Amino acid sequence: MPNKMTWLTSGLTLRLTFAALAGLGLGACKILPTQSAQEESKAPTFNPDKAVEDIWASKVIPYLQQKAGPFAEVHALAKTDQAAAGAKYGNPKKQANSPWTFVVRLEGKIVAANTQSRAATIDVDIDGDGKADARVQIGPAMRGTALRDSLDFVQFNDFTNQIDFAQFGKAFNAYADKTVLSKLPRDGLEGRSIKVLGAYTIDGGQDLPLVTPAEAEIGPKP
């Protein structure tokens, strides 16, 4: 029968063996740092302002120049057949539930100006009868997304989510203000001539068609 010393020696041997095995196990394992969510996500953040800037001169302006019709002609057709006007002067690939947006060239005389508000506008007489036929947004704050919605190469399904699509629409207005509208005069506008390349959507809540410019030029004081 094993004596007490034999049992103690065996127990010590077993403990040393377990410790050695445990040490080997730990030595074979590498402790890796946990990656942050930011490191795990490799997708670049969508920058709507940069996206608009990248296509403005190369795609947006050439498209609008090619698509635009005289305001009086476009608006007359739009009042009778929006689908026909939209297909000819706008984006025929639009979403089915979206309103038609029309691209126009507008030229006339400024008969009224509201420049006290950040959502500044000017009313323009197109046909020379002294009455306003269209209202032009001159910013810096502008309603709607008419410029984005008029482009047949911009589709909702190309965007990750609705928020990115909405921000992209606002970025067109911001870029037009930054590059064009912010440079327009704000005083003594009535009686001056104006030329605009822009887009508008027929809105039942507006007393005049509300045009968002991509290009605009105001003539000298008469």
The Cα 182–Cα 121 span in angstroms is 13
Q: 36 or 173, which is more confident? A: 173
Q: What angle do CA 199, 202, 204 make, to 5 degrees?
A: 150
Q: List all residues 6 or more positions away from 114 whose beta carbon is below 8 Å from its beta carbon.
A: 120, 121, 122
Residues 7-17 have a mean pLDDT of 43
Cβ–Cβ < 8 Å for 135, 210:
yes
Q: What is the pLDDT of residues 55-114, one digit of tens each?
A: 999 999 999 999 999 999 999 999 999 999 999 999 988 877 888 999 999 999 999 999
Provide the token pair at 189. 């506008």
The fold of the 46-218 domain, in CATH, is OB fold (Dihydrolipoamide Acetyltransferase, E2P) (2.40.50)
Q: Who's near 152: CB < 8 A, 6+ residues apart? A: 63, 91, 92, 93
Alpha helix stretches (DSSP H) within 107-206:
146-149, 162-179
Q: Name the residue ranges covered by the structural domains of the chain.
A: 4-32, 46-218
pLDDT at 126 > cutoff 70: yes
Collapsing DSSP states into helix, strand and coil, what is residue 82?
Answer: helix
pTM: predicted TM-score of the whole model, two decimal places:
0.78
**Which residues in 89-191 belong to E strands, given as ranges?**
101-114, 119-125, 134-140
| pLDDT tens-digit map of 159-195 | 999 999 999 999 999 999 999 999 999 999 999 999 9
> What is the residue type of 5?
M
CB atoms within 10 A of CB 216: 21
For 122, the token pair is: 């000017």
Cα–Cα distance between 105 and 26 in angstroms, integer?
A: 75
